[in-house]
């Protein structure tokens, strides 16, 4: 229903006032107004109709608070008839507590204002009820009145009260209540949740429900959220959640989906109750129950065993107890045994018919200690520990298969006294089974111990009795001895019989030694077979031969005829060897003569024939190496033969390669010589021409040349000169490789002095401090070694040029029995990074401008040192100088050709 | 041909540039007046022994020194040297071997054949001039004509 605004009411009021005026006019009796009055009457009737029919309670008061008119709904609400109600005052129908409010209403109505409030009214019967009242002042019968529309709001009030109560319940519930959307965002969080999970409402708000979910339950959670989102109903289930401090709670969760006004699912509310304690209690109860069951079971077993022990004889006791065990453990097979004094296990109680099923050779019930293996029951006894396996065990052949078993030692006062073993239950043995068997073993232990103790005492008594019996017998024996003396008289007769027996004995001895002989023979034959097998598999041919010049083999292995490229059969004939092996008659005669002579010499050192060719027509020739080894003290020789074809081929190949290489090297050397020769002549000639004519130009046409022209000519001449130097150095380098070495003893000290003097002639302005120390003489090519020093020393002079106090040390030092000569300077030095480059041809570490040179000097030095079988290396540091070391081998060096 | 009976220096050299340079070197020392130049080994032999183009030349007028290049077309310097030194009539003529090469074998062979001096022609013209002057003068002075 559309709410009337204040403006609407004002307007209506205006209309009403006008109509009233019209009505009044019509009462004046004018025809016009009469007509109007009729209209008003009609209108009024219409209003009244509405008034009467309205379901809302409508009351009209005058400004004194007296009811002037009510509609039927009002009568119903207040329980009065129309007649009773009109004339009552507001005080009659408004609860005392609200009279002030009614007064206010009346005042507002008088002022033409609207009002609305909640209040409590009274029925005719005095009962009170909640109402909501709205109203305003209005003109009625020409005077201002109060119109009130009342609504019973008891129900609503009660609902609101209920809701408030519910909200309180929710807020204060011990259960956690969370509201979340389908993305898992927590949108509401009650106090219970705060208490249960430890997150404050602020922390929880807008965070994800995943925070509470343990990893194992993520899938479950996602599943029910999906189901809810899809519109399904999920009710209650048990799950687990995790608290802020990491405790995992068992939780009973009730989930309700939440829907928007359109009925679309938008999220879920879940009530979670911590049932951890309950679960714990349940678990404890279950455990107690289990314990009770176990106690009951143990009691029943104990009763059974006690009964057996009390009522059944010793012999049957083992079997009867085992029966109980097998029944309790649902096993098909079992043993119950005790350990004897000597450590043997006696098993008087093997499951009936097990031995019948087994086909093991010895079906004893005694297992002597020294026959125990490493099977599970042995270990159980030895380690005094329960062992079990659900895997098949190893059993002797013929034994029924043991698929799974438990072995429990029976111990008493820390000593193993017996054993229970059960096997072949249909299912795997578990902890419970082990526990039962251990329990039984515990019950049985004292009983078994008592019985064993008793048996031992019995046996001891028996032994004592036997000892007594024995001493009695001794007495008897003495008497018998007397009697024996008498009998000796008869001995003479008996001796005859004895001799006969002796004969028989020696016969037997003979027989025995015969047998031994045969055994030895057998052994010999076996070892011979072994040796034969080894020999036949050797890649070496082995044969046993008489030293007789005629070749007759008493043995040969398989390789022997194979290497000789013939057959065993062909060599079977006496003296057939030569014919069979050597095809060519001339060579055959020759080799035969040689071999026989070598053998006849008797010197084993000469009985070796290397690289003898074996030819077969149409096939490749193979080569052998053969030896004869005479066997000392016998007319025998062992012939051995190796196939050396491969080796020979490889050697041949190697030799061919070497020849090729030498040839190649020689060729190259000749070429190189020709090349250097031609270079030395032909390369210098044009250079000389360039320099010469440049000179002439400079001398004879000096006037025609400008300064720049002269400078350029100077550059040409300078470069021609370096080119000339380069060619010279290159040639010297190439010559060094070819030059023949003339070795002699060199007085190194004198040589160094000579070189220095020579070098210093052209270094007038230099002041160098020379330190010439130990310099032992060496064997080498003097001119070459001179060149070594000339290079090293001129370098030292060159590179110390920029030093004010140049120092050069020439000396040697013994390192590892080798003499290392060295030249040390305090010059420009070099970066060790380039130490290797120093010795390369044309390798220079300084610019031409800094230090002149072609970069060949050190390459020459290295070449010379290498030709002397020595080594050269350098150490240095930029700005601090350099040291060059070299060694010389006194023997022939590697006379290398290239490099 | 203007007879070079009074030839003082015989220069045997096949390379024109070298000839020119040598002559300049000699000229610098006023030695170039009576220089005769031949350009190969055969011509040298012909000149010395008065054969071929030089038949009729009086071989008793020997040059006072022969500057002989080692590498020559047709007949090599070493062969020429051998011919000179193995002939009684000519073996007294001083022969200075001129060569670009420092090859030891050449030097050794030259001395074996009786060369009197050996000049390795330096690349530097100044050095060359010096060497030619020194040696040329030396032998010229040493081998003064008997008359």
Going by C-alpha positions, the residue among A418, A409, A417 that lies closest to residue A376 is: A409
| CA distance to partner chain B, nearest, from residue A705 (Å) | 19
- A123 SS3 class: coil
C-alpha neighbours within 13 Å on the C-beta side of residue B110: 25
Rounded Cα distance, A226 and A175, in Å: 24
Q: What would the mean pLDDT of B105-125 be, rounded to a whole number?
A: 83
| CA distance to partner chain A, nearest, from residue B17 (Å) | 6
Report CA-CA distances (Å) from A373 to A336, A396, A406, A875: 18, 11, 17, 74
Positive or negative torsion for Cα A614, A616, A618, A619: negative
Contact status, residue A806 vs residue A768, Cβ threshold 8 Å: yes
| CA distance to partner chain B, nearest, from residue A745 (Å) | 23
Among the residue ranges A583-592, B96-105, B117-126, the one predicted with the least confidence is B96-105
Nearest CA in chain A to B21: A692
Q: For helices B125-142 and B16-28, give the axis angle rounded to 10 degrees.
A: 60
- A830 SS3 class: coil
Angle at A321 between CA A316 and CA A324, to 5 degrees: 130
Judging by beta carbons within 10 Å of its beta carbon (0-12, 13-18, 19+), is residue A357 exposed, middle or buried?
exposed
User: Looking at beta carbons, which residues of chain A come within 8 Å of B126?
Assistant: 695
Report CA-CA distances (Å) from A577 to A565, A588, A589, A602, A660: 11, 10, 12, 21, 40
Q: Note whether B125 contacts A695, CB cutoff 8 Å.
A: yes
Q: What is the longest distance spanned by two Cα atoms in chain A?
A: 197
Rounded Cα distance, A164 and A351, in Å: 78
Take residue A8 and report the two structure tokens written for it. 């609407």
Q: Note whether B21 contacts A694, CB cutoff 8 Å.
A: no
Q: What would the mean pLDDT of B26-45 be, rounded to a whole number?
A: 85
Contact status, residue A234 vs residue A227, Cβ threshold 8 Å: yes
Q: Note whether A681 contacts B100, CB cutoff 8 Å.
A: yes
Q: Per this entry, what is the length of chain A?
A: 899
| pLDDT score for A489 | 61
Q: Note whether A691 contacts B123, CB cutoff 8 Å.
A: yes
User: Looking at beta carbons, which residues of chain B come within 8 Å of A676?
Assistant: 103
| pLDDT score for A237 | 82
Q: Note whether A684 contacts B121, CB cutoff 8 Å.
A: yes
| CA distance to partner chain B, nearest, from residue A680 (Å) | 5
Among A692, A700, A701, pick the best mutation site for testing chain B contact (most B Cβ within 10 A). Answer: A692
pLDDT of residue A803 exceeding 50, the answer is yes
Q: Please name the residues in contact with A694: beta carbons below 8 A apart, sequence gap of 6 or more.
A: A713, A716, A717, A720, B125
Q: Note whether A687 contacts B102, CB cutoff 8 Å.
A: no
| pLDDT score for A789 | 93
Comparing A164 with B147, which gets the higher pLDDT? A164
Rounded Cα distance, A420 and A433, in Å: 12
Contact status, residue A349 vs residue A322, Cβ threshold 8 Å: yes
Take residue A781 and report the two structure tokens written for it. 């090519």
Q: What would the mean pLDDT of A830-854 be, rounded to a whole number?
A: 75
Contact status, residue A872 vs residue A884, Cβ threshold 8 Å: yes
- A61 SS3 class: strand
Rounded Cα distance, A776 and A773, in Å: 10
C-alpha neighbours within 13 Å on the C-beta side of residue A72: 7
pLDDT of residue A759 exceeding 90, the answer is no
User: Looking at beta carbons, which residues of chain A come within 8 Å of B122?
Assistant: 688, 724
Beta strands in A371-487 (DSSP E): 387-389, 405-412, 415-423
Among B70, B76, B123, B129, pick the best mutation site for testing chain A contact (most A Cβ within 10 A). Answer: B123
Rounded Cα distance, A581 and A98, in Å: 149
Comparing A866 with A897, which gets the higher pLDDT? A866
Q: Note whether A696 contacts B125, CB cutoff 8 Å.
A: yes
| CA distance to partner chain B, nearest, from residue A584 (Å) | 55
Confidence of residue A812 (pLDDT cuts 50, 70, 90): very high
CA A137 to chain centre: 92
Residues paired with A408 in a beta bridge: A420
Contact status, residue A58 vs residue A70, Cβ threshold 8 Å: yes
Rounded Cα distance, A9 and A3, in Å: 10
Q: Note whether A688 contacts B102, CB cutoff 8 Å.
A: no
Confidence of residue A822 (pLDDT cuts 50, 70, 90): very high
Q: Note whether A680 contacts B103, CB cutoff 8 Å.
A: yes
- Give the strand pairing for B95-99 and B65-69: parallel
User: Looking at beta carbons, which residues of chain B come within 8 Å of A735?
Assistant: 103-104
Rounded Cα distance, A562 and A782, in Å: 62
Rounded Cα distance, A258 and A177, in Å: 13
| pLDDT score for B83 | 92
pLDDT of residue A236 exceeding 90, the answer is no
pLDDT of residue A897 exceeding 50, the answer is no
Residue that is written with structure tokens 């015969």 in the block: A514
Take residue A303 and report the two structure tokens written for it. 């009763």
A456-494 as b/e: b if 16+ CB within 10 A: eeeeeeeeeeeeeeeeeeeeeeeeeeeeeeeeeeeeeee
pTM (global) more than 0.80: no
Helix (H) or strand (E) holding A811, with range, is strand A806-815
Beta strands in chain B (DSSP E): 9-12, 35-38, 65-69, 95-99, 117-120
Residue A86 backbone phi and psi in degrees, to 5: -65, 130
Confidence of residue A884 (pLDDT cuts 50, 70, 90): very high
| pLDDT score for A493 | 63
Rounded Cα distance, A180 and A258, in Å: 9
| pLDDT score for A524 | 78
| pLDDT score for A27 | 46
Would you kindly state where each structural domain of chain B is located, as residue ranges?
A: 9-137
Q: What would the mean pLDDT of A812-831 be, rounded to a whole number?
A: 89
Summarised one tens digit per residue, pLDDT across range A693-735 is 888 888 888 888 888 888 888 888 888 888 888 887 777 777 7
Rounded Cα distance, A608 and A603, in Å: 10
| pLDDT score for A898 | 35
User: Looking at beta carbons, which residues of chain A come within 8 Å of B101?
Assistant: 677, 680-681
Of B18, B20, B101, the CB nearest to A680: B101
| CA distance to partner chain B, nearest, from residue A721 (Å) | 7
A692 interfacial to chain B (CB closer than 8 Å): yes
| CA distance to partner chain A, nearest, from residue B129 (Å) | 9
| pLDDT score for B1 | 44
Please give the DSSP secondary-structure letter assigned to residue A832.
G
Summarised one tens digit per residue, pLDDT across range A18-67 is 655 554 544 444 555 566 666 667 667 777 777 887 778 888 888 888 99
Confidence of residue A17 (pLDDT cuts 50, 70, 90): low
Take residue A788 and report the two structure tokens written for it. 């070594």
Summarised one tens digit per residue, pLDDT across range A242-278 is 888 888 888 888 888 777 767 777 788 888 888 888 8
- A460 SS3 class: helix
- A871 SS3 class: coil
Rounded Cα distance, A438 and A448, in Å: 14
Q: Note whether B103 contacts A724, CB cutoff 8 Å.
A: no
Among the residue ranges A22-31, A676-685, A772-781, A813-822, the one predicted with the least confidence is A22-31
Q: Per this entry, what is the length of chain B?
A: 147
- Give the strand pairing for A415-423 and A333-339: antiparallel
Q: Note whether B18 contacts A688, CB cutoff 8 Å.
A: yes
Rounded Cα distance, A444 and A322, in Å: 11
| CA distance to partner chain A, nearest, from residue B15 (Å) | 9
Comparing A792 with A303, which gets the higher pLDDT? A792
Angle at B41 between CA B38 and CA B45, to 5 degrees: 85
Confidence of residue B134 (pLDDT cuts 50, 70, 90): confident
DSSP states of A515-573: HHHHHHHHHHHHHHHHHHHHHHTSSSEEEEEESSSS--EEEE-THHHHHTTS-TTTTTS
Comparing A352 with A259, which gets the higher pLDDT? A259
| CA distance to partner chain B, nearest, from residue A701 (Å) | 15
Going by C-alpha positions, the residue among A166, A143, A11, A181 that lies closest to residue A66 is: A143
Comparing A378 with B133, which gets the higher pLDDT? A378
| pLDDT score for A750 | 92
Percent of chain B with pLDDT over 70: 86
Please give the DSSP secondary-structure letter assigned to residue A764.
T
| pLDDT score for A6 | 62
Report CA-CA distances (Å) from A658 to A129, A662, A668, A671: 133, 6, 15, 20
| pLDDT score for B82 | 92
Of A682, A688, A717, the CB nearest to B121: A688
Which of A216-220, A346-350, B9-13 ranks highest by mean pLDDT? B9-13
Domain B9-137: give its CATH code. 3.40.50.2300
Going by C-alpha positions, the residue among B64, B6, B77 that lies closest to residue B38 is: B77
Summarised one tens digit per residue, pLDDT across range A526-581 is 877 777 777 777 788 888 887 666 677 888 888 888 898 988 888 877 678 888 88
User: Looking at beta carbons, which residues of chain B come within 8 Å of A693?
Assistant: 17, 21
User: Looking at beta carbons, which residues of chain A come within 8 Å of B104?
Assistant: 735, 739
Residue that is written with structure tokens 């011979």 in the block: A528
DSSP states of A278-342: HHHHHHHHHHHHHHHHHHHHHHHHHHHHHHHHHHS-HHHHHHHHHHHHHHHHT-SEEEEEEE-TT
Rounded Cα distance, A655 and A651, in Å: 6
Percent of chain A with pLDDT over 90: 7
| pLDDT score for A894 | 45
Q: Please name the residues in contact with B3: beta carbons below 8 A apart, sequence gap of 6 or more.
A: B57
User: Looking at beta carbons, which residues of chain B come within 8 Å of A781?
Assistant: none
Q: Note whether B123 contacts A684, CB cutoff 8 Å.
A: yes
Neighbours of B130 (CB within 10 A): 15
User: Looking at beta carbons, which residues of chain A come within 8 Å of B78?
Assistant: none
Considering only residues 719 to 758 of chain A, which have any Cβ-Cβ distance to chain B shorter than 8 Å? 720-721, 723-724, 728, 731, 735, 739
Contact status, residue A854 vs residue A846, Cβ threshold 8 Å: no
Contact status, residue A772 vs residue A753, Cβ threshold 8 Å: yes
Comparing A496 with B22, which gets the higher pLDDT? B22
Rounded Cα distance, A177 and A270, in Å: 6
Considering only residues 136 to 165 of chain A, which have any Cβ-Cβ distance to chain B shorter than 8 Å? none
The mean pLDDT value of chain A amounts to: 81
| pLDDT score for A496 | 67
């Amino acid at each position: 229903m559309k709410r009337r605004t204040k403006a609407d009411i004002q307007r209506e009021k205006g209309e009403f006032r006008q109509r009233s005026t019209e009505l009044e006019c019509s009462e004046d009796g004018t025809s016009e107004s009469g007509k109007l009055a009729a209209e008003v009457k009609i209108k009024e009737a219409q209003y009244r109709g509405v008034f009467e029919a309205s379901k809302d309670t409508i009351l009209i008061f005058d400004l004194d608070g007296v009811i002037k008119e009510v509609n039927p709904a009002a009568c119903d609400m207040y329980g009065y008839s129309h007649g009773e109600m009109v004339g009552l005052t507001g005080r009659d129908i408004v609860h005392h507590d609200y009279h002030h409010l009614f007064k206010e209403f009346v005042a507002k109505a008088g002022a033409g204002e609207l009002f609305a409030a909640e209040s409590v009214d009274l029925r005719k019967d005095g009962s009170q009820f909640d109402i909501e009242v709205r109203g305003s002042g209005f003109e009625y019968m020409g005077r201002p009145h109060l119109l009130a529309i009342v609504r019973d709001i008891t129900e609503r009030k009660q609902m609101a009260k209920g809701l408030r109560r519910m909200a309180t319940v929710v807020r204060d519930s011990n259960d956690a209540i969370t509201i979340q959307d389908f993305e898992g965002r927590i949108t509401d969080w009650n106090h219970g949740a705060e208490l249960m999970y430890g997150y404050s409402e602020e922390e929880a708000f807008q965070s994800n429900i995943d925070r509470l979910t343990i990893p194992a339950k993520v899938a479950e959670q996602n599943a029910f959220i999906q189901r809810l989102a899809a519109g399904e109903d999920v009710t209650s289930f048990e799950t687990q959640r995790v608290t802020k401090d990491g405790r995992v709670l068992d939780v009973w969760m009730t989930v309700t989906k939440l829907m928007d006004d359109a009925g679309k699912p938008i999220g879920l509310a879940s009530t979670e109750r911590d049932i951890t304690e309950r679960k714990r209690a349940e678990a404890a109860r279950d455990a107690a129950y289990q314990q009770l069951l176990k106690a009951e079971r143990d009691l029943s077993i104990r009763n059974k065993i006690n009964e057996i022990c009390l009522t059944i004889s010793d012999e049957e006791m083992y079997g009867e107890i085992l029966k109980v065990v097998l029944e309790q453990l649902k096993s098909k097979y079992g043993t119950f045994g005790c350990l004897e004094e000597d450590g043997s296990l006696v098993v008087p109680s093997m499951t009936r018919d097990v031995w019948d099923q087994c086909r093991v050779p010895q079906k004893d019930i005694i297992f002597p200690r020294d026959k125990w293996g490493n099977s599970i029951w042995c270990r159980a006894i030895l380690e005094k520990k329960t062992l079990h396996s659900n895997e098949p065990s190893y059993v002797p052949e013929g034994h029924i298969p043991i698929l799974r078993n438990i072995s429990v030692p029976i111990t008493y006062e820390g000593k193993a006294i017996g054993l229970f073993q059960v096997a072949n239950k249909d299912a795997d043995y578990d902890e419970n089974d082990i526990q039962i068997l251990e329990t039984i073993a515990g019950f049985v232990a004292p009983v078994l111990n008592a019985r064993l103790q008793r048996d031992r005492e019995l046996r001891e008594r028996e032994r004592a009795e036997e000892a007594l019996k024995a001493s009695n017998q001794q007495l008897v024996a003495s008497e018998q001895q007397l009697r024996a003396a008498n009998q000796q008289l008869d001995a003479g007769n008996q001796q005859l019989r004895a001799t006969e027996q002796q004969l028989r004995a020696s016969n037997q001895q003979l027989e025995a030694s015969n047998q031994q002989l045969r055994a030895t023979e057998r052994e010999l034959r076996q070892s011979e077979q072994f040796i034969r097998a080894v020999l036949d598999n050797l890649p070496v041919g082995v044969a046993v031969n008489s030293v007789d010049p005629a070749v007759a083999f008493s043995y040969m292995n398989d390789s022997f005829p194979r290497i000789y490229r013939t057959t065993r059969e062909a060599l079977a004939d006496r003296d057939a060897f030569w014919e069979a092996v050597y095809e060519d008659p001339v060579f055959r005669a020759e080799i035969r003569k040689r071999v026989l002579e070598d053998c006849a010499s008797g010197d084993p050192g000469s009985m070796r024939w290397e690289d003898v060719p074996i030819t077969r027509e149409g096939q490749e020739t193979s080569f052998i190496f053969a030896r004869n080894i005479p066997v000392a003290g016998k007319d025998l020789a062992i012939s051995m033969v190796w196939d050396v074809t491969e080796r020979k081929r490889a050697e041949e190949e190697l030799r061919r390669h070497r020849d090729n290489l030498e040839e190649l090297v020689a060729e190259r050397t000749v070429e190189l010589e020709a090349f250097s020769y031609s270079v030395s002549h032909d390369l210098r000639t044009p250079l000389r021409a360039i320099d010469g004519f440049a000179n002439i130009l400079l001398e004879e046409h000096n006037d025609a040349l400008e300064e720049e022209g002269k400078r350029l000519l100077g550059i040409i001449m300078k470069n021609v000169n370096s080119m000339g130097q380069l060619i010279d150095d290159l040639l010297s380098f190439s010559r060094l490789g070819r030059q023949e070495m003339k070795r002699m003893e060199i007085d190194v000290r004198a040589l160094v002095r000579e070189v220095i003097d020579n070098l210093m002639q052209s270094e007038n302005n230099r002041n160098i401090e020379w330190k010439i120390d130990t310099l032992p003489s060496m064997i080498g090519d003097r001119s070459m070694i001179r060149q070594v020093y000339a290079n090293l020393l001129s370098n030292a002079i060159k590179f110390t040029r920029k030093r004010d106090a140049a120092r050069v040390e020439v000396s040697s030092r013994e390192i590892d029995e080798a003499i290392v000569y060295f030249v040390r300077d305090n010059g420009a030095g070099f970066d060790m990074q380039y130490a290797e480059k120093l010795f390369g041809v044309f390798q220079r570490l300084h610019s031409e401008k800094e230090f002149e040179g072609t970069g060949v000097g050190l390459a020459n030095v290295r070449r010379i040192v290498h030709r002397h079988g020595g080594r050269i290396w350098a150490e240095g540091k930029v700005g601090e100088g350099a040291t060059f070391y070299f060694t010389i081998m006194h023997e022939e060096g590697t006379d290398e050709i290239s490099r | 041909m203007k007879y070079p009976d009074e030839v003082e220096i015989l220069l045997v050299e096949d390379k024109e540039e070298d000839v020119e340079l040598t002559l300049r070197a000699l000229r610098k020392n006023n030695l170039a007046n009576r220089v005769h130049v031949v350009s190969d080994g055969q011509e040298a032999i012909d000149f010395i022994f008065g054969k071929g183009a030089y038949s009729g030349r009086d071989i008793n007028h020997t040059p006072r020194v022969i500057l002989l290049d080692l590498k020559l077309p047709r007949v090599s310097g070493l062969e020429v040297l051998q011919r000179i030194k193995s002939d009684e009539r000519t073996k007294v003529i001083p022969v200075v071997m001129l060569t670009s090469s420092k090859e030891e074998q050449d030097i050794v062979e030259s001395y074996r054949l009786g060369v009197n001096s050996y000049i390795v022609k330096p690349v530097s013209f100044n050095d060359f001039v010096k060497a030619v002057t020194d040696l040329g003068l030396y032998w010229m002075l040493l081998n003064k004509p008997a008359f």
